[in-house]
């Protein structure tokens, strides 16, 4: 992997939004699959040593993903994602909320908007995360969201290196 690939993480509390931009040295279809297919998502969508465990995922408009981030000690932190818009290999949007293990969401949640583009073999993913409340945004930041998501994105980058060779 190239070390000069863009990674930017910014928070704008005035509009309760997090912006993340990351470039990957992988083709667009592979990066898209990494964000939209359960078997690949579960390999990277948690900051190590935590693991991602999807109970179910239906990637279509109106579909949902219900998953837990699982600690090495077995602690489960559940979330539910509801897909609200999908334009293949270009964009998808989802509503995300923490939940209990019975799928009851803890509101308020956040709206995630993922944009994908490729140029010269580099795929750029731009993510905006709008939080319904400033309190929720601040809670995410206090819980170490930036650090955790940075580790998670590094997991993806390492996985893409392996998958690109196959």
pLDDT in tens, 56-106: 999 999 999 999 999 999 999 999 999 999 999 999 999 999 999 999 999
Record the pTM: 0.94
The owner of tokens 């993806």 is: 156
* Tokens at 90, concatenated: 């270009």
Tell me the C-alpha distance between 44 and 42, whole Å: 6
CB hemisphere CA count around 62 (13 angstroms): 0
- Preceding amide of 42 cis, omega within 30: no
The owner of tokens 């998502």 is: 41
Q: What's the mean per-residue pLDDT of the chain?
A: 95
User: Is 21 exposed, middle or buried (CB count within 10 Å of its CB: 0-12, 13-18, 19+)?
Assistant: middle
């Amino acid at each position: 992997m190239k070390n000069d690939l863009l990674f930017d993480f910014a928070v704008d509390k005035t509009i309760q939004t997090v912006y993340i931009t990351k470039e990957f040295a992988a083709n667009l279809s592979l990066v898209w699959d990494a964000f939209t297919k359960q078997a690949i998502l579960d390999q990277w969508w948690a900051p190590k040593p935590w693991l991602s465990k999807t109970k179910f995922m239906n990637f279509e408009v109106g579909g949902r993903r219900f998953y837990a981030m699982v600690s090495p000690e077995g602690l489960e932190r559940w979330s539910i994602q509801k897909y609200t818009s999908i334009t293949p290999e270009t964009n998808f949007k989802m509503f995300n909320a923490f939940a209990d293990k019975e799928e009851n969401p803890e509101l308020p949640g956040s709206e995630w908007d993922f944009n994908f583009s490729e140029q010269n073999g580099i795929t750029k993913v731009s993510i905006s995360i709008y939080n319904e409340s400033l309190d929720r945004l601040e809670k995410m930041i206090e819980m170490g969201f930036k650090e955790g998501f940075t580790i998670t994105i590094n997991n993806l980058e390492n996985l893409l290196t392996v998958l690109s060779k196959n």
